[in-house]
Amino acid sequence: MNKFSLQIKKMVVLLLVLTLIPFMMSGCWNRRELDKIAIVAAGGIDKENKDKIKITAQVFKVGEIKSPQSGGSATGKPYVNFEGVATTSFEAIRKITQIASRKLYWSHNQIFVFGKEIAQEGIEKYIDFFVRDHETRLMVNVLVSKGTAHEILTTETDLETIPAMNINDIIKDLGATSQAPQITLKDIAERLLSKTSAAVAPLVEVQEINKKKHARIAGTAVFKKGKMVGELTPEESRGYLWVIGKVKSGIINVKTDDGTKRASLEIIRANNKINADIKDGQLVITVKIKEEGTLNEQDSPKNLTELPLWHSLELLQAAAIHREITAALKKSQEYNADIFGFGEVVHRKYPLLWKDLEKQWDELFPYLKVNIEVQAKLRRSGLITKPISPSTEE
Amino acid sequence: MFRFIMRKLHFLHLLHHNPLQDKNKEPEKDPATTLLTKDLQQNLAKLKKILGTSNDIIIRTFTFGSNNIEAALIFLDGMVDKTTVNESILLPLMYEYPQSKSDEDSSWNNIEDIQQKLITVGEVKKTYAVQDTILSILSGDSILLINDLNQALIISTRGWEARGITEPQTEATVRGPRESFTETLRTNTTLLRRKLKDPNFTLETLVLGKRTQTDVAIAYLKGIVNPRLIEEIKRRLNQIDTDAILESGYIEEYIEDNPFSPFATIANSEKPDVIAAKLLEGRAAILVDGTPFVLTVPMLFVESFQTAEDYYSRAYYTSILRLLRFLSFLLSILSPALYVALTTFHQELIPTPLLLTMAAAREGTPFPAMVEAIGMGIIFEILREAGVRLPRPVGQAISIVGALVIGDAAVSAGLVGAPMVIVVALTAIASFVVPAQTDVGSILRIFLTLLAGFLGAFGIAIGILGVLVHMCALRSFGTPYLSPLAPLSTGDLKDVFIRVPLWDMFARPRTIGWIDPQRQAFRLKPEPPPKKD
Amino acid sequence: MNLETGKIPGYQLIFLIMGFVSSLSMLFLPTQPAKNLAWLAILVSIIEGLLFASIYTALALRFPGKTLVEINEFILGPLVGKIVSLGFLWYFLHLASLHLRNYGDFFTIVYPETPLIVFLIATIFVCALAVKNGIEVIARCSILLVSLIIFLYFFDLFILLKEMDLSKLLPLRNVSVQDFFKASNAVNSVSFGETIIFMMIFPFLNKYVEARKSLLAIIIAGLLIAISAARNTAVMGDLLSIFQYPTYETLKIVDVGDFLTRMEIVVSINFISMGFLKISILYYGLVLGTAQLLKLRTYHPLVFPFGVIITVLGVINYGAISELIPFALEIYPLYSFPFEIGIPLFLLVTAVVRGLPKKTKGDQI
């Protein structure tokens, strides 16, 4: 390789780079400065009229949240809600740019709320954009409002600065009561893809406390093929969560002393096992729940930690869980929505049989036989054993 | 290309006469004008003509012996040790010569005898060539010319005011030797000799620079260094044909493997212990008269992350420090680029609360993030340069003004966002952790920030890939620059990201020479003495 | 005639092949027909891949020091050999441009407003830099990049553990045998079969015997891909089937303590470095083969023109991404069949039958 052609080539390469630079300079392409984007904290969809929807986007007003320069004397609400009305989600979002000075940026979207009407109409056609677009998140928490999405996004907050963060934090702490599932867009999409399993989402409602509107979680919305068909109460919701193994913590109230007194038991951990069997030509689902709890509160004067009482307490606990599960099961069979994913269990166990079952699942599910076996244990009783009352035994 | 041709043309005529190469040849073959004659006055006239009339040239004419033999001692004032000249040359000649006159008069007019019996200086040479005498005078030696003799004695009387051995200015240590090299080559070789009392420690000297006549020494340990490395160094050094070698940096630029690379492929240090350690690993050192900075080759990239102190303190903390240094280097080249990429392209990667804080800080700042990053980077470089150039007390003031006033004022005036100031400050501090790569770091930082501004993370990745390809292709005197990482040399990894205890470093680095691999005995791991029952 | 003076040791070959095989495979593999059994299909395809690779190594060991182009001429004679070599070079060229395009397409999803050509030019520029420096430099880069990727790979695996639900990998008898093998064939032809390019690189091994190490590399790389496919399925379940870039989507859902969120950038880093390796190796094989075919003294003058050709071909390869998946599934296995197995097998059989190379000296071509 002689030096000359090497030099020529170097010049050619240099020329190429030089021509590339103005090319680079001319287009900003995807560059968007932080002060040119509107960070969306929450999105909501409502039915506007017969064929139009309204998208509400809650946007952080970053200047109001915390600005190191101006000592934090925030005036006004630190968020703003933009609304766009159109026939498709994408179009509605784009319409917002006509009123908002900055481009909406969806990558930090925390929650997504469906209004009840839209949920009942069917959500799959509206979430396509949110799964397809590269900017939106799959892990956004999805909720269904008992009223409109818009009213949820205008609720008051006390500890958090904006409703979206407030609701998001509430959802993250749902495990404390385990009375509503935490559902992401990914879960919904996964369920919508399935032919048999039904999607669920936490329900949220507006509650007035001291003349201030607050958002409150109130059970679970049940979907069937993308359409909301019914609701589960908080207790039924926990029944549902027991079956899918998502109960993290919570309180079980049982009645002691022949129903006159009460004791509160805390759920420490729970395991689930779902099995499908074919017995005598009939499909039977067995749900086994193993639970451990602690005695956290009692108003009975008796020492409940004594063995016979302790055992009866465990049995009462098991019965309470059983009751919750049965209620949830009854509701879901009523709605004919396989929210537990029993179909998938059968699919895994009997892949060949499933090909036929899959088609008839809608007829089969309402009459599906489900055995519920609950094993509940109590492990601890807090820091004290005897109640704080004069002992009654002697 | 033009530069190449121009250089060729410009130096073409220099190739024809090279006085240095002719120096060591037999005097008979030289042109007559460069030979000494038997006539002292003629010789002196010749020397005066060449040396000019500078007033630091001392020509001391005197006579000695009963025959009043004429003689002259020529030296440069300030370059010679006066005591030696007076007591070891002039005194014996003028006082001791007459006493021996009674013995055998005629045989004393012999230069051999003067050299052998009278001059009480360690190093005395004879020469016929004028050129030699000139060079010797300029180097601080004294020349003794005697009438009727066509030879001159070169008497080593070098001695001048030199800086003493001080603490190193560039490589500070908490633990370890505190001496550093000085500007005098001889002192420097002595410092090395005192570390390596090994007959295999070899110094090969040559003179470079037509006008500076700089002494350059190649130091190595015979039997450890790869002989081909020494050959290559000599070949490259001998190719240097230039006016002046004022500092080892001159040599560095003339013998680099890839002159266009931003990466330095020749290491330097001013600490004798560092150089000794490198010689012991099989490297060769190039010492240059007039500078305390000694070059070593080959240089590996990972060498920049090793410091002398790593080997003097305990292994655990040293290993953590090593990792920190790699991290700092990455931070110093990447953090502004990452900041720009994250805030202008990939906001989704920033956790939401952090994004809100950053967005709040950026609210109302007028420049795009990339301009901010590059601008702040340039301001930092200016501050650094000012801090280095200014006299020390003023320099400190500059850094205070720069850091506090400019940074704080810029933020409170809303010119730049506070996060950017943090990023630039972090970069600045991180870049000083690896001093050997600081200059490369600055270049790469700007390069990557530009790319990040245009193409985000993709730009950074492409930039880093390009740099990586370049580094993989780079060699330092035949050794791949990225070894022992690429090509992988698992044994050498003991001294890269972590430093294993010294007793476990059984072998010398494989990638450097590997002539005498074993450095110590097996099983040096200290253990408690076996229990006696 | 020495086009390449560099030599690479055996372990570097392992890194090269690992980088080559697992590059695009980590992001995009045509395993859709195998549904939740993608990982099993990949495991099966490893066996196919090993079969292919053993043919390549057998051929390489029979003709030590000869590249595919030289072997072609040696076995098939100068004319036919040249024609077959030309076919191979076209295949390499097409592959390089396909991968480059695939690469660019991925980035136009992350950066929708940036023109595709920018990614193609930037990438091919870096690849050309590597190719110009020869196989030694590509091999050294592969050590660093593959180590980085493996580190990131296990990091991904670790942070995704929380999201995994292994029951999503079941049931095993979910897919028809036909679909299953369709997937595994497709996987084999896009990932393992393409190692035919290493027939251009085997001659530069320090020891020819070390070509056998390619089998080991294929096993390791195959396992890595299979595990990543299993991971994706365990995290995303049936949802995977609707995504173009499953790994990318999988890492999008990472959320560790609200701090490590949206790790898809890790996939991008993976993809940039691996795509770089894959394209560089194909590009290198292409220019080296062309130089050998044209009996040039050096391949350097070819680097720039071929870079332009690959880029242009990359732009006009196909219109939309939706054309790619049917191509990868239906057409590509057929298209690549002669190059990946047909001709090499034919060469090997011919060589064995004719007893080539003859033991006598003088087989210099």
In-domain check, residue A187 = yes
At A117-175, the pLDDT tens digits run: 888 888 888 888 888 887 888 888 999 999 888 888 888 887 888 888 888 888 888 88
- Please tell me whether residue A214 adopts helix, strand or coil conformation: strand
Q: What is the mean pLDDT of chain A?
A: 83
Is C348 in contact with C63 (CB distance < 8 Å)? Answer: no
The domain total for chain C is: 1
The per-residue pLDDT for B168 is 87
Residue A72 confidence (pLDDT) above 60: no
- Which chain A residue's Cα is nearest to B368? A33
The per-residue pLDDT for A23 is 57
**A107 interaction partners in chain C (CB closer than 8 Å):** 262
**C269 interaction partners in chain B (CB closer than 8 Å):** 457, 461
Transcribe A14-35 into DSSP letters. HHHHHHHHHHHHH--TT---GG
Instruction: Please report, for the domain that includes residue A393, its CATH number.
Output: 3.30.300.210
Give CA–CA dist A231/A216, Å, rounded. Answer: 15
Asked if the C-beta of C107 comes within 8 angstroms of chain B's C-beta atoms, the answer is: yes
Instruction: Spell out the per-residue pLDDT of chain B, length 533, in tens.
Output: 455 555 555 555 455 545 444 445 444 443 345 678 888 888 888 888 888 888 888 888 888 877 778 888 888 888 888 888 888 888 888 877 655 555 555 445 567 777 777 788 888 888 888 888 888 888 888 888 888 888 888 888 888 888 888 888 888 888 889 899 999 898 999 999 999 999 999 999 999 988 888 999 999 999 999 999 999 999 999 999 999 999 999 999 999 988 888 899 999 999 999 999 999 999 999 999 989 999 998 999 999 999 888 999 989 999 999 999 999 999 999 999 999 998 888 888 888 888 888 888 888 888 888 888 888 888 888 888 887 888 877 767 777 777 777 777 888 888 888 888 889 889 988 988 888 888 899 999 999 998 888 888 888 999 999 999 999 999 999 899 998 888 888 888 888 899 999 888 888 888 887 788 888 888 888 888 888 76
Residue with tokens 């006539």: B39
Residue C279 confidence (pLDDT) above 60: yes
Asked if A98 and A59 sit in the same domain, the reply is yes
The per-residue pLDDT for C287 is 93
- Of B352, B302, B339, B218, nearest to B479 (Cα)? B302
Sort strands B214-221 and A261-279 into parallel, antiparallel or unpaired. unpaired
The per-residue pLDDT for C364 is 43
**C144 interaction partners in chain B (CB closer than 8 Å):** 468, 472, 482, 485-486
Asked if A81 and A162 sit in the same domain, the reply is yes
Tell me the pLDDT band of A4, cut-offs 50, 70 and 90. low
Transcribe C252-267 into DSSP letters. HT-EETTTEE-THHHH
In-domain check, residue C222 = yes
At A44-53, the pLDDT tens digits run: 999 888 888 8
Asked if A204 and A62 sit in the same domain, the reply is yes
Transcribe C41-70 into DSSP letters. HHHHHHHHHHHHHHHHHHHHHHSTT--HHH
In-domain check, residue A261 = yes
Angle between helices B438-473 and B369-389 (to 10 degrees): 110
Question: Which DSSP letter does residue A175 get?
Answer: G
Asked if A79 and A39 sit in the same domain, the reply is yes
**A3 interaction partners in chain B (CB closer than 8 Å):** 1, 4
Asked if the C-beta of A67 comes within 8 angstroms of chain B's C-beta atoms, the answer is: yes
Q: Which residues contact A368 (CB under 8 A, 6 or more apart)?
A: A283, A285, A333, A342
Is B435 in contact with B172 (CB distance < 8 Å)? Answer: no
Structure tokens at A125: 């056609």
Asked if A385 and A238 sit in the same domain, the reply is yes
Q: State mean pLDDT over C305-323.
A: 83
Beta sheet of B69-76, edge-to-edge order: B57-64, B69-76, B142-146, B152-155, B124-127
Is A287 in contact with A272 (CB distance < 8 Å)? Answer: yes
B462: nearest CB among C9, C123, C262: C123
Last residue of a domain, one of A188, A211, A232: A232
In-domain check, residue A21 = no
Asked if A228 and A238 sit in the same domain, the reply is no
- Of C161, C196, C184, C224, nearest to C27 (Cα)? C224
Is A237 or A390 the better-scoring residue by pLDDT?
A237
Q: Do B349 and C261 touch (CB under 8 A)?
A: yes
The per-residue pLDDT for B29 is 42
Structure tokens at A132: 């397809």
Give CA–CA dist A202/A217, Å, rounded. Answer: 7
Partners of B296 in beta bridges: B267, B285
Asked if the C-beta of C110 comes within 8 angstroms of chain A's C-beta atoms, the answer is: yes
In-domain check, residue C141 = yes
Asked if A73 and A213 sit in the same domain, the reply is yes
The per-residue pLDDT for A132 is 84
Residue with tokens 């055995």: A371
The per-residue pLDDT for B28 is 45
Counting one residue from chain A and one from chain C, the pairs whose CB atoms sit within 8 A come to 62
Tell me the pLDDT band of A392, cut-offs 50, 70 and 90. low
- Measure the CA angle with vertex A252, ends A250 and A254; round to 5°: 170
C107: nearest CB among B351, B458, B482: B458
Containing domain of residue A331, as a range? Answer: 234-394
In-domain check, residue C53 = yes
Q: Please classify residue B259 by burial: count the beta carbons closer than 10 Å to its beta carbon, then call 0-12 exposed, 13-18 middle and 19+ buried.
A: exposed
Instruction: Please report, for the domain that includes residue C137, its CATH number.
Output: 1.20.1740.10
**A347 interaction partners in chain C (CB closer than 8 Å):** 171, 174
Containing domain of residue C162, as a range? Answer: 10-353
Give CA–CA dist B284/B280, Å, rounded. Answer: 9
Give CA–CA dist A178/A241, Å, rounded. Answer: 7
Q: State mean pLDDT over C5-18.
A: 88
- Which chain B residue's Cα is nearest to C258? B351
Q: Do C112 and A348 touch (CB under 8 A)?
A: no
CA distances from B413 to B220, B290, B382 (A): 58, 49, 21
Tell me the pLDDT band of C297, cut-offs 50, 70 and 90. confident
Asked if A106 and A162 sit in the same domain, the reply is yes
Give CA–CA dist A329/C227, Å, rounded. Answer: 37
Compute the nearest-CA separation of C140 from chain B (Å).
5
Structure tokens at B281: 């690993």
Helix (H) or strand (E) holding B251: helix B248-255
Transcribe A327-394 into DSSP letters. HHHHHHHHHT-BTT-HHHHHHHH-HHHHHHHHHHHHHHGGG-EEEEEEEEEEEEBTB-SS-SS--S--
- Of A392, A333, A338, nearest to A366 (Cα)? A333
Asked if A240 and A165 sit in the same domain, the reply is no
Q: State mean pLDDT over A38-42.
A: 90
In-domain check, residue A286 = yes
Q: HEC states along B374-426?
A: HHHHHHHHHHHHHHHHCCHHHHHHHHHHHHHHHHHHHHHCCCCCHHHHHHHHH
Last residue of a domain, one of A182, A200, A232: A232
Sort strands A200-209 and A141-145 into parallel, antiparallel or unpaired. parallel
Compute the nearest-CA separation of A134 from chain C (Å).
7
The per-residue pLDDT for C90 is 92
In-domain check, residue A54 = yes
Asked if A76 and A203 sit in the same domain, the reply is yes
Give CA–CA dist C269/A358, Å, rounded. Answer: 42
In-domain check, residue A154 = yes
Beta sheet of A251-256, edge-to-edge order: A251-256, A261-279, A282-298, A369-380
Last residue of a domain, one of A173, A202, A232: A232
Give CA–CA dist A177/A235, Å, rounded. Answer: 10
Give CA–CA dist C68/C60, Å, rounded. Answer: 8
Asked if A153 and A213 sit in the same domain, the reply is yes
Counting one residue from chain A and one from chain B, the pairs whose CB atoms sit within 8 A come to 78
Rg of chain C, C-alpha, whole Å:
20
In-domain check, residue C297 = yes
The per-residue pLDDT for B365 is 84
Compute the nearest-CA separation of C134 from chain B (Å).
9
Asked if A252 and A185 sit in the same domain, the reply is no
The domain total for chain A is: 2
Asked if the C-beta of C123 comes within 8 angstroms of chain B's C-beta atoms, the answer is: yes
Is A361 in contact with A195 (CB distance < 8 Å)? Answer: yes
In-domain check, residue A152 = yes
